[in-house]
Amino acid sequence: MSVQEYLDKHMLSRKIEDAVNAAVRAKTSDPVLFISNHMRKAVPSVITKVKARQILDSRGIPTVEVDLYTNKGMFRASAPSGVSSGMYEATELRDGDKGMYLGNSVQRAVKNINEKISEALIGMDPTLQSQIDHAMIDLDKTEKKGELGANAILAVSIAACKAGAAEKEVPLYKHISDLSGRTNMILPVPAFCLISGGKHAGNTLAIQDIMILPVGARKFEEAMQMGSETYHHLKAVITEKYGAHGCNVGEDGGFAPNISSFREVLDLVKEAISRTGYGEKIKIGIDVSATDFCIGTKYDLDYKSPNKSGQNFKSGEDMIELYKELCADYPVVSIEDPFDKEDWEHVKYFSGLGICQVVGDDLLMSNSKRIERAIQESACNALLLKVNQIGTVTEAIEAVKLAKDKRWGVVISHRCGETEDSFIADLSVGLSTGQIKAGAPCRGERLAKYNQLLRIEEELGDQAVYAGDDWRMS
């Protein structure tokens, strides 16, 4: 493109003239600086450079970080990672060389960004999120982003989203709201992880997480206080009952006492809530992650016990009765993945009972085809959205819209392999999901999300709305 063609494309000749006239009218003492600032606002930014590197996530495992440049500055993002990848989610590209980070290095994904994605995106307008994301999808040419790597594509997609917000000179959550076509922005109810089990901790507890939801708080700041206080009361309860060693934590920051009974861990949380004095303002959520202990058509609740008796196998019907009892005896309002990811029969029946929110994680994998099937079959009534399972900001927005159009709840979720990137905090507000799951109220990579929500609430001021009792239908 010639200089004249560039000037014509952006109508710069007219804009330069306008800037000079504005400087004259302003009678500025520094016309050069005035014209420079005026032109910076008048000329649209484009992506000028994309640079990627390998960093480590919260587990000490490699992941992808991206610096994306426009004339407004540099915008950084990183891709989270899960404990395992499912067959229905976008492909996380790893090198597989056992001599490098035990096969987990991501240098191929980094190279794909630096050599292929960068070339395709330079010159693009960062505000056009959909065009950027689809350019990467078209460049990849595979159904699950296996050529370039979903970890590569996602990190660039998030960085571009941040650049787009800067170009529009609006907060990131406002830019996301604009991209989604939403007008309301709502602070989500946090689902704080208090007790960890399953694959996230070294204890014998089969279920993955026990969480609390401060639905009775008046604002997010108060919800944060409730979560922190309950967490510390729980630490005292566990110490009194099991000793200090019971306060070891799992990958998401939840305590991991070595007990296997569902009721025993729920009693601990119930006692901690009681000590806070918040009472019914705090509800309980359970992430069962039942796929991890499903064997054939049975569920092995002792799958982590070293001396398994083989007597604690449950049928799908047994699990339904167990959940019904737990919801009746404890303030449980949400259960995630109560059955295996292919056990559609039992999850449909349980959802039909209407006794709590039923969240699909392994069942859905943030996959639009799985979501559509679950909608058609009424298999659950809430989506757990993990952005790295889907691979781009645009597709994440579309998945949330699909769920919300059917009056589902939506939970924006972290992964066990996290970074200090707080993007999902802005995503939850911009899409008004009403719920966010970012781990315990401790550990830097988890608090990065919660602390960003505190900042957003402060920034919104009188306009800030906390989901509270409307946590499912925000």
336 assigned to a ligand binding site: yes
Active site residue 386: yes
229 is in an annotated binding site: no
Q: Is 169 annotated as a binding residue?
A: no
Per the annotation, the verdict on 421 as an active-site residue is no
The 3-class SS string of the chain reads CCHHHHHHHCCHHHHHHHHHHHHHHHCCCCHHHHHHHHHHHHCCCCCCEEEEEEEECCCCCEEEEEEEEECCEEEEEECCECCCCCCCCCCCCCCCCCCCHHHCCCHHHHHHHHHHHHHHHCCCCCCCHHHHHHHHHHHHCCCCCCCCCHHHHHHHHHHHHHHHHHHHCCCHHHHHHHHHCCCCCCECEEEEEEEECHHHCCCCCCCCEEEEECCCCCCHHHHHHHHHHHHHHHHHHHHHHHCHHHHCECCCCCECCCCCCHHHHHHHHHHHHHHHCCHHHCEEEEECCHHHHEECCEEECCCCCCCCCCCCEECHHHHHHHHHHHHHHCCEEEEECCCCCCCHHHHHHHHHHCCCEEEECCCCCCCHHHHHHHHHHCCCCEEEECHHHHCCHHHHHHHHHHHHHCCCEEEEECCCECCCCCHHHHHHHHCCCEEEEEECCCCHHHHHHHHHHHHHHHHHHHHCCECHHHCCCC
| Residue of 252, 292, 300, 343 marked catalytic | 252
Which of these is catalytic: 386, 404, 437, 449?
386
Active-site residue numbers? 252, 386
Task: Detail the residues annotated as belonging to a binding site.
Answer: 287, 336, 361
Task: Detail the residues annotated as belonging to a binding site for Mg(2+).
Answer: 287, 336, 361
